[in-house]
Structures are given as C-alpha cells and as structure tokens.
Amino acid sequence: MILVTGATGNVGRHVLDLLVAGGHAVRALSRSPQEAVWPAEVDVVAGDLAAPASLDAALAGVESVFLFAVPGSGPAFVAAAQRAGVRRVVLLSSGGVDDEAEVQDGPIAAYHAEIEQALRGSGLAWTFLRPDVFAANSLMWAGQTRSGDVIRGAHAEAASAPVHEADIAAVAAAALTEDGHAGQVYRLTGPQSLSHADQAAILGRALGRPIRYAELPAETVRQAMSAHVPGPILDNIFTTWAASVGRTAPTTTDIEKVTGRPARSYHDWALDHAAAF
Ligand SMILES: NC(=O)c1ccc[n+]([C@@H]2O[C@H](COP(=O)([O-])OP(=O)(O)OC[C@H]3O[C@@H](n4cnc5c(N)ncnc54)[C@H](OP(=O)(O)O)[C@@H]3O)[C@@H](O)[C@H]2O)c1
C-alpha cells in the first residue's frame, strides 16, 4: 500500500492518479476527505500531519509514503512511520534547500530542510524532490487575465525555471514504485529560465491573446498579498524574487533522467490550464 499525503494538492492529486493508473494499491490522506472527489480505487483516510495521533491508522499496512511537508512535522511523522514499518518515503521538498548552508536562506527552505534532516536520520529509504517554482503559481494571475490582458505584479524580470506539477508527480510516482531512488535528491526544474514578463507573454500565446506583465512597486503587491500569505513567508517570496531579477535560473535534466521524458514547457503548462485563465 502506498500512502499519498497532500493528495488534494497540485502535485499530490497527480501522484494519486498516476499510481491508480499503474494499478498500485493507494491510500489518500486529507484533513477533510469529504470535501474532495476521489477515484473509486483509492482508500481515503482522514488525517493531519500536524496531529501525529491521526497517523497510526493512516500508516497501517503502508510500505511507501508520498510526504507533503508540513512545518515541524518531521520527527513525529518519522516516529509514526517507523512504528508502522514503512520502508520508503518520497518527500515533496523545496528547491530552496541548500546542502552547503549552515543556516537555510529563509523559513521556506528551513522547514523543508528540517523535515529532510528527520528523514536522513530515520533509517527509512528516502528520496527528496526539490522543485523550482511551480508553474501553477501563475494561477494567482487568473483573476486578472479573466478580466483583461494585463497582469499587474511585482518584479517583471524575476527569473525562475517554472516546473509543471505533473512532472513533479511523475518523478514522485517513479520514486515510490521503482528501485534505485533511495538516497537521491532530485532538483526539478522546467526546461527554461523565464521572467514573470516572459511567462505572461507565453501565457498570452497559449490563450491566443496579447497578455503583458505590468510591473508594480513591490511594496504595493506585498500589501495586497499580505491578506492571504503569512508575513515571514511573504518576505521570503519577495526576497527571492528581488534576488533573481535579471538572472538566469539554473535548469536540470533530473525530470528526464527519472521519467525518460523531457520536462514539460511553460507553454505546455499554459495550454493544460487555459480554462482557468
Ligand atoms: N509553489 C511553489 O512554487 C513551490 C516550489 C517548491 C516547493 N513547493 C512546496 O510544495 C508544497 C506545495 O505542494 P502543492 O502545491 O501540491 O500543495 P497545495 O496544492 O498547496 O495543497 C496543499 C496540500 O497539503 C495538504 N495539507 C496541508 N496541511 C496539511 C496537514 N496539516 N496535514 C495533512 N495534509 C496537509 C492539503 O491537504 P488537505 O487540505 O486535503 O488536508 C493539500 O493536499 C509545499 O511544501 C511547498 O513549499 C512549492
């Protein structure tokens, strides 16, 4: 049995579908399972990674886990996994984690690194997926593109190599079901470094409309986002954007190495999600 946590999320829902399509026995964990629609083949359990007492039932009979990173949850998850006899864990970590750093650069990298650390010392066979920025972050622009052709946001020239969530999931499914991935750290990127302005233009091509990115002062955007995102995380996002302005984001071929297929492009992602925009 494979347990998929974060199963209602951008990545987890694809992991679930790939495992079901591959004929694997799958259990999905959600804090509110009644609010989602699940494939008939999936065993669904209510559970919360921040409430370790709920994990024993979820982990009973489980051999492998796709793990969503809830801040601070590493040690209790590891203890529950060891009690249940889990053998393999594939963690959805972050591209921000830096193995060379004594102190991680910001809270996002720090809490993912803490969970990695708990797994490294656990005796479980672990695989870490460290994605770059998700292409799915662009969904935050959907409200603007539904009402016009201009995306207003911060740092037009901030660069990343946005990665399709289905590619992250394909690597996860391979690591959960094949041998040879234990102890591996996969740095998952899209095929190309793109600025926010580039992404807007590509989105426009996919939608058949001339979409452009209009830069606003970072502080204006930060204020608007502060209603939904906690302050320290928001600071982390804006610091990362500012630091990447005018840079070329590194790309890797880890997705192709693991799945045998090149990473999907941002244009592919935009076509897959055109309806949202
Ligand atoms: N966005 C990016 O650019 C980016 C880049 C690199 C890494 N990441 C990392 O990738 C992850 C985001 O993945 P995603 O986009 O697939 O997720 P998502 O769409 O944001 O969904 C969050 C998922 O986590 C589950 N979840 C949240 N808190 C939980 C808890 N306490 N116990 C159990 N499940 C919990 C939710 O399940 P229920 O609500 O059903 O319980 C949901 O399935 C984060 O760790 C993020 O740091 C993101």
| CATH topology for the 2-131 domain | Rossmann fold (3.40.50)
Chain center to CA of 122: 23
Q: What would the pLDDT profile of 172-187 be if each residue is shown by its tens digit?
A: 999 999 999 999 999 9
Here the tokens at position 274 are 């055109």
Do the beta carbons of residue 141 and residue 129 sit within 8 Å? no
* Strand 194-195, strand 159-160: pairing: antiparallel
Residue range 242-259: mean pLDDT, rounded: 97
CA angle 60, 64, 69 (to 5 degrees): 95
Question: How many angstroms separate the alpha carbon of residue 207 from the centre of ligand 1?
Answer: 27
Report how far ligand 1's centroid is from the alpha carbon of 78 (Å). 18
pLDDT score, position 43:
98
| Alpha carbon distance 264, 188 (integer Å) | 11
| Spacing, Cα 186 to ligand 1 middle (Å) | 18
**Alpha-helical regions (H) of the chain:** 12-21, 55-59, 74-84, 107-120, 142-146, 165-177, 196-207, 218-225, 231-244, 254-259, 266-272
Distance (Å) from CA 12 to ligand 1 centroid: 8
Provide the residue ranges of all domains of the chain, joining segments of one domain with +.
2-131, 133-164+190-250+264-277
Terminal-to-terminal C-alpha distance of the chain: 37
Nearest CA to ligand 1 atom 1: 134
Cα separation, 247 vs 104, in Å, equals 21
The CATH number of 133-164+190-250+264-277 is: 3.40.50.720
Predicted confidence band of residue 198 (pLDDT cuts 50, 70, 90): very high
Mean per-residue pLDDT, 46-67: 97
pLDDT digits (tens, 9 = 90+) for 96-109: 999 999 999 999 99
Under the banding of pLDDT at 50, 70 and 90, the label for residue 164 is very high
Residues paired with 92 in a beta bridge: 68, 129
Q: What is the pLDDT averaged over residues 231-238?
A: 95
**Rounded to an integer, what distance in angstroms lies between the CA atom of residue 260 and that of residue 81?**
30
Helices 218-225 & 231-244, crossing angle to 10 degrees?
150
Query: Is 133-164+190-250+264-277 in the same CATH topology as 2-131?
Result: yes
Please tell me the predicted confidence (pLDDT) of residue 22: 98
Q: What spacing in Å lies between the alpha carbon of 68 and ligand 1's midpoint?
A: 6
Q: How confident is the model at residue 52 (pLDDT cuts 50, 70, 90)?
A: very high
- For ligand 1, pick from 3, 31, 187 the residue to mutate: most ligand atoms within 8 Å of CB: 31
Cβ < 6 Å from ligand 1: which residues?
A: 5-12, 30-32, 48-50, 68-70, 92, 94-95, 108, 131, 133-134, 137
CA within 13 Å, CB half, 247:
14
Report the atom number in ligand 1 closest to the C-alpha of 108: 47
